[in-house]
Amino acid sequence: MPKIAFLGAGRMASAIVDGLLARKVCAPADLACADGGDGTAAALAARTGIAAAADLAALLAPADAIVLACKPQQLAGLDPQIADLAAGKLVLSILAGKRLARLAQVFPRARVLVRAMPNTPGQIGAGITAWCALHPLAADDRATVDAILGALGQVIELAEPQLDAVTGLSGSGPAYVFEFAAALRDAGEAAGLPRATAWRLALETVLGSARLMARTGTEPETLRDQVTSPNGTTFAGLQQMARRDFRGLIRETVLAATARSRELSKDG
């Protein structure tokens, strides 16, 4: 693997570093990081053994690939010398809402520009990340991108116009799942269960159901029907969901997040 520099040392950068080291894709000596002055780089370096660079030149000069993992709003304020320091390198951005065209303005001499949309389960290696590139990638560069993003979980390549929908679905999706789990917990409590018991049942139901779908490869509607008896308890619950147009609500939720992503991308 090439030497990789992380511009930003927050949760997602830390997750990538942890994944790369755990999978033995890289050694600590192959990785370096820097932050915007919040101390996260020093903490990440102390925990993992990677280097915390003192300045931008020290971070980027030895690097072959750069992972742009700072806050999206910090992109406009990056030191202009970064254009020269990133010349000839692979630049991979995980900044939400920052399009490839905008990245090309900041990194005009980069060899490769990649934009990616990870999600928070990547913090435990259970995420899925969609990515796109400004130009088709050579085999070595594709392998590097797959290795970096694969540290977070599964990887899928898509066209850039689809990344707004990815943001609305899988990027924001964990929050919807968390909200659903919390709703199940609260409903169980309303039905008479102690809160701790309701939470345990809700959590294991969400986990077990997801595992069943993943392991069997069965369509969710088929699994739903397998647990639903005519005029039974599950049927009564599903009828209530249908009356309140549960699927319509989820569709509107994803579309609202997708629309917001498009708005932010226009600014980016």
Whether the per-residue pLDDT at 265 is higher than 90: the answer is no
Q: What is the mean pLDDT of residues 142-164?
A: 97
Backbone angles phi, psi at 154, to 5 degrees: -80, 155
Q: Are residues 20 and 137 in the same domain?
A: yes
Q: Are residues 201 and 230 in the same domain?
A: yes
Closest CA to 5 of 43, 46, 41: 41
In a domain, 165, yes or no: no
Task: Decide if 113 contacts 88 (C-beta within 8 A).
Answer: no
**pLDDT at position 36:** 82
**pLDDT at position 182:** 98
Give the mean pLDDT of the chain: 95
The pLDDT tens digits of the residues spanning 56-112 come to 999 999 999 999 999 888 898 999 999 999 999 999 999 988 999 999 999 999 999
| Domain tally, the chain | 2
The pLDDT tens digits of the residues spanning 221-244 come to 999 999 999 999 999 999 999 999
**pLDDT at position 268:** 57
In a domain, 166, yes or no: no
The token pair at 199 is 């939470």
Q: Which domain holds residue 123?
A: 4-159
**pLDDT at position 266:** 80
Closest CA to 141 of 67, 69, 90: 90
In a domain, 164, yes or no: no
The SS3 call for residue 66 is: strand
Q: Are residues 155 and 186 in the same domain?
A: no
Q: Are residues 141 and 199 in the same domain?
A: no
The pLDDT tens digits of the residues spanning 37-52 come to 889 999 999 999 999 9
Q: Are residues 26 and 133 in the same domain?
A: yes
Cα–Cα dist 215/207, whole Å: 12
Cα–Cα dist 219/248, whole Å: 19
Whether the per-residue pLDDT at 129 is higher than 70: the answer is yes
If pLDDT is split at 50, 70 and 90, which confidence band does 14 have? very high
Helix (H) or strand (E) holding 57: helix 56-60
Q: Are residues 42 and 21 in the same domain?
A: yes
DSSP one-letter string for 12-24: HHHHHHHHHHHTT
| Boundary of a domain, candidates 159, 193, 221 | 159
Whether the per-residue pLDDT at 261 is higher than 60: the answer is yes
The pLDDT tens digits of the residues spanning 131-140 come to 999 999 999 9
Q: Are residues 100 and 150 in the same domain?
A: yes
Task: Decide if 152 contacts 24 (C-beta within 8 A).
Answer: no
**pLDDT at position 8:** 94
